Amino acid sequence: MDRTVGFVSASREAAGAPRDPLPAPDRGDRGSRPERPVLELNGVGKTFGRHPPIAALSDVSLIVNRGESVAVVGPSGSGKTTLLRCINFLVPYDSGRVLVNGRLVGYRERQGRLVPDTEPRVNEIRKRIGMVFQRFNLFPHRTVLGNLLEGPLYVLKVPRTQAVQRAKAALELVGLTDKIDAYPGQLSGGQQQRVAIARALCMEPELMLFDEVTSALDPELVGEVLAVIRRLAQQGMTMVIVTHEMAFARDVADRVVFMEAGRIVADQPAVDFFMKPATPRIEAFLSRFAVPGRPG
């Protein structure tokens, strides 16, 4: 395992470093109580449209502790992507609570009611959550280095030399040091996705969200991207991974969450999920994937 570029340890230092302007609620009582989960969802709901309303998420609760990686699987349209997007508030949820490091995302409490939070405060939380999209979404007008500098320079206001250092370390981790001056259009899908992961890492996030990051890739390019995620898991990065790669979920995730029709149907340790499916529905779902080592 390669520990030369340790994004996770760096982000932990950052969490306690003085540059952090936000008091993390769990600080100070770390000794007396167990550490607060990085991510907590309590009864989160989201409805799209009105005629008729479609419930994308209903009563979703989930806890992700520091260093854990959780795979979210389930059929298309089951709300997996919406779940991820509610976590960094790209989609505003309409009931329940999302807490990142104990801080409510997107809303603030006023006289017992939740009111929408201001944009700067939402961004304050987004800074600490890295997101990787299905379709990469790199900035096509900037080089690889430019893509990696954008966040650190203009959002975190890190000095340029330091931002460049971070970018180089991130590129080393994803194995694309030689592409530093390339434009996204010159890279393969797998390379673009690895740059997208590096771009998120440059923010030194405490939580990484992966939204079906291999679904848009040619089959032979999937491996290189999964290898990078695997490496992050080994480094102890906290991650929520929406995926259709069952073998990968089994090998890398600590826990697997199964979603259907906007609900979490099962939340089990990865081994149990595949070896002892909780419901016949999951059994049937899994039977469509050839997962090595799984009976049947």
Nearest distance, CB of residue 36 and another protein, angstroms: 21
| Residue 180: C-alpha distances to residues 96, 142, 143, 230 (Å) | 42, 11, 7, 22
Contacts with 281 (C-beta within 8 Å, 6 or more apart), sequence order: 260, 265
Nearest distance, CB of residue 59 and another protein, angstroms: 26
Nearest distance, CB of residue 289 and another protein, angstroms: 28
Residue 10 vs 90, nearer CB to another protein: 90
Residue 106 vs 277, nearer CB to another protein: 106
| Residue 25: C-alpha distances to residues 39, 87, 100, 239 (Å) | 13, 18, 10, 21
Residues that bind another protein (CB under 8 A): 88, 90, 119-120, 123-124, 126-127, 129-131, 133, 135, 137-141, 150-151, 154-156, 183, 185-186, 199-200, 203
| Residue 254: C-alpha distances to residues 86, 101, 165, 218 (Å) | 22, 19, 31, 27
Task: Say how far apart CA 280 and CA 118 lie, in whole Å.
Answer: 44
Helix 144-154, helix 189-201: angle, nearest 10 = 20
Task: Say how far apart CA 184 and CA 135 lie, in whole Å.
Answer: 12
| Residue 231: C-alpha distances to residues 114, 118, 126, 248, 285 (Å) | 38, 35, 23, 12, 28
Nearest distance, CB of residue 122 and another protein, angstroms: 9
Nearest distance, CB of residue 40 and another protein, angstroms: 20
Nearest distance, CB of residue 183 and another protein, angstroms: 6
270 contacts 258 by C-beta, under 8 angstroms? no
Residue 94 vs 124, nearer CB to another protein: 124
Phi, psi for residue 210 in degrees, rounded to 5: -115, 120
Residue 198 vs 270, nearer CB to another protein: 198
Residue 4 vs 118, nearer CB to another protein: 118
Residue 49 vs 120, nearer CB to another protein: 120
